[in-house]
């Protein structure tokens, strides 16, 4: 069961209706991209490290800013090799001055 304390980070679904297995891609990426240390600890106590790594590598989502992508890939998950940041990093429209 998903703790109510995660409702704020899993904002697009009701935590009473989310399924830990069926919705793992959403849960994992939301917590990796936006989670606090306590939420990340919950993530690693709920899913094993291999599942989190496989989900991150095989199901990229554009939830990340460059710094969080690099932190998750290189520090938290220690994923060797190259992953295309364009698959993970959301792009913000540029503010053009006139």
Q: Is residue 70 assigned to a domain?
A: yes
Q: Is residue 94 assigned to a domain?
A: no
Note the pLDDT of residue 35. 95
Q: Is residue 28 assigned to a domain?
A: yes
Q: Indicate the number of domains in the chain.
A: 1
Q: What is the pTM of this model?
A: 0.88
The CA–CA distances, whole Å, from 74 to 69, 71, 90, 95 equal 8, 5, 18, 30
What distance in Å separates the CA atoms of residue 5 and residue 80, rounded to the nearest whole number? Answer: 32
Triad 57, 16, 9: Cα angle to 5°: 50
Domain enclosing residue 71, as ranges:
4-87
pLDDT tens sequence across 32-77: 999 999 999 999 999 999 999 999 999 999 999 999 999 999 999 9
Q: Is residue 74 assigned to a domain?
A: yes
Triad 5, 78, 24: Cα angle to 5°: 40
What one-character DSSP code corresponds to residue 89?
B
pLDDT tens sequence across 5-37: 999 999 998 899 999 999 999 999 999 999 999
Q: Is residue 23 assigned to a domain?
A: yes
């Amino acid at each position: 069961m998903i703790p109510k304390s995660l409702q704020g980070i899993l904002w697009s679904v009701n935590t009473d209706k989310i399924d830990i297995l069926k919705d793992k891609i959403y849960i994992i990426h939301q917590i990796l991209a936006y989670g606090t240390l306590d939420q990340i600890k919950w993530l690693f106590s709920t899913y094993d490290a291999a599942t989190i790594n496989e989900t991150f590598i095989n199901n990229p989502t554009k939830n990340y800013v460059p710094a969080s992508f690099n932190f998750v890939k290189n520090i938290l998950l220690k994923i060797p090799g190259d992953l295309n940041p364009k698959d993970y990093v959301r792009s913000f429209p540029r503010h053009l001055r006139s």
